[in-house]
Chain A
Amino acid sequence: MIETPLNAKIKGEEFTELPRDLYIPPDALEVYLEAFEGPLDLLLYLIRKHNLDILDIPMADLTRQYMQYVDKMRAIKLELAGDYLLMSAMLIEIKSRMLLPKPVEVAEEDDPRAELVRRLMEYEAIKLAAQRLDEMDKVGDGLYVASAYYQHISQVKPPEVSLDDLAEAWRNVLKRASHFKHHKVGRSELSVREHMSIILRRLKDDRMLEFTQLFDVKNDGIPKLVVCFLAILELCREGLLRITQQQAFSPIYVQINTYE
């Protein structure tokens, strides 16, 4: 096949027969897709360029050529292929309706091409309008808007506060504070470990103490007493204390566990 410049057959003036002129080299697909915005655009171009008579377009040839591109397009732009297929179908439909003999009883039938022509004209109008919009000066492109610098001093208005606002704010503070109270996980000031040491130290001096002597019930609060009790249990668990009781309800004695 002879190497032809892209699009040369479409835009070239040397064509003699319309069907050949419609041929677009498959290699030109990319160029073709960029040059035309769709089947309407292509048809419009052909009609304007060559004064094409829609009635005389060889539909079979046109469709065959279309299909070649549709196959190629499938690999690249499926959506476009669909649009071109639709146009092929429309052209064939028009042609077939033109060929069919008109029933006698239908005296007046709309020209099958009317809808296509309407669409072509509408598209052409929009196409030209788009070109005009594109040519118009726009802000940022040919249109320059004044924008002098000035030192911004925004007026700062102190916000207004009503008594209700203040009361509401206070309620919120209280609410939040109560949350804190419930959820506060403070470091225990009463360390079980610390009391374990204290108890061991006392037992070191006194060897043996009655259980109740380990608790200063008068001065210590309940938390401290609990911690003290926990410390005794912990010491016992660790085998450092020996707790003895002769019989039920008799005094309990605590002493350091010795292993001799």
Chain B
Amino acid sequence: MSEISNVTELKNVLEAALLTSHEPLSLDDMLRLFAEKMERTTLRMLLDELKQDWSGRTMELVQVASGYRFQARDEYAVFLARLNPERQAKYSRAVMETLAIIAYRQPVTRGDIEEIRGVAVNPNVMRQLQERDWIDVVGQREVPGRPSLYATTKHFLDDMNLRSLSELPPMEDFTQQEISI
């Protein structure tokens, strides 16, 4: 005898879990919801259906790097922003450029970042990005000094609403302008 007999009930459980979770839920997370064994393909099918069910509603089910989550549709962002009038402090250009270098050229060392930007890396910049959990150290380059290699995290992709790095705007978009000598 099964705990849940019909598809609607299964989808409701998924929906409740996704709506209450603070972090995106992975397929493995969601499989744990059910006492009985469920195939991943079944789960994916249910998620697809759930996504369909919510089409035209205020929330949409999206997939990001670490799993699935519900988020408000774009058109409501402008209203929701009014709830918290104090704007998120903007990151400095140094922070964003460092982040861009790590995102597009990872894994990179501080030296690589300095080479591209032409200025020394401010430790504060790296700290800000690490505290945000957008970058972390993934290893050391086997050269004298064994400098740390930095890469972006899944959390960075989640926050940027991306499933993988390949969804970043392609670098070619930014390299077309030739500098005439």
Question: Which residues does A use to contact B, with CB under 8 Å?
Answer: 37-41, 47, 51, 53-55, 79-80, 82-83, 87, 111, 113, 117, 119-134, 136-150
The 10 closest A-B pairs by CB, nearest first: A38-B119, A40-B118, A146-B70, A130-B100, A128-B174, A130-B96, A144-B72, A125-B174, A129-B100, A141-B88
Q: How many Å lie between the Cα of A79 and that of B93 in the bound state?
A: 17
Given A37-B94, A87-B118, A124-B177, output 16 extra A-B contacts at Cβ < 8 Å: A37-B93, A39-B119, A41-B118, A47-B179, A121-B179, A122-B116, A126-B101, A126-B116, A133-B103, A139-B161, A143-B161, A144-B77, A146-B70, A146-B72, A147-B19, A147-B22
Report if A55-B181 is in contact (Cβ < 8 Å); known contacts: A37-B119, A41-B118, A126-B100: yes
Q: Mark B16-33, 1 if CB is under 8 A from A, else 0.
A: 101111100000000000
Q: CB-CB < 8 A to B93: which residues of A?
A: 37, 130
Contact: A146 with B71, CB < 8 Å?
yes
Q: CB-CB < 8 A to B74: which residues of A?
A: 137
Q: CB-CB < 8 A to A132: which residues of B?
A: 169, 173-174
Q: CB-CB < 8 A to B16: which residues of A?
A: 150
Give the shortest distance, in Å, between B132 (CB) and chain A (any CB): 10
Interchain CB contact (< 8 A) of B70 among A82, A138, A145: A145
Majority SS of interface residues in chain B? helix
Q: How many Å lie between the Cα of A59 and that of B72 in the bound state?
A: 55
Contact: B91 with A134, CB < 8 Å?
yes
Report if B80 contacts A (CB, 8 A): yes
Report if A129-B19 is in contact (Cβ < 8 Å); known contacts: A117-B179, A123-B117, A138-B159: no
Report if A54-B97 is in contact (Cβ < 8 Å); known contacts: A129-B169, A150-B20: no
Report if B13 contacts A (CB, 8 A): no
Q: CB-CB < 8 A to A111: which residues of B?
A: 181
Contact: A37 with B117, CB < 8 Å?
yes
Give the shortest distance, in Å, between A141 (CB) and chain B (any CB): 4
Contact: A119 with B118, CB < 8 Å?
yes
Q: CB-CB < 8 A to A53: which residues of B?
A: 181
Interchain CB contact (< 8 A) of A125 among B99, B161, B175, B180: B175
Q: CB-CB < 8 A to B71: which residues of A?
A: 143-146
Q: CB-CB < 8 A to A39: which residues of B?
A: 118-119
Contact: B70 with A38, CB < 8 Å?
no
Most buried by B among A53, A111, A123, A143: A143
Q: Which residue of B lies closest to A148 (CB)?
A: B19
Q: How many Å lie between the Cα of A113 and that of B77 in the bound state?
A: 47
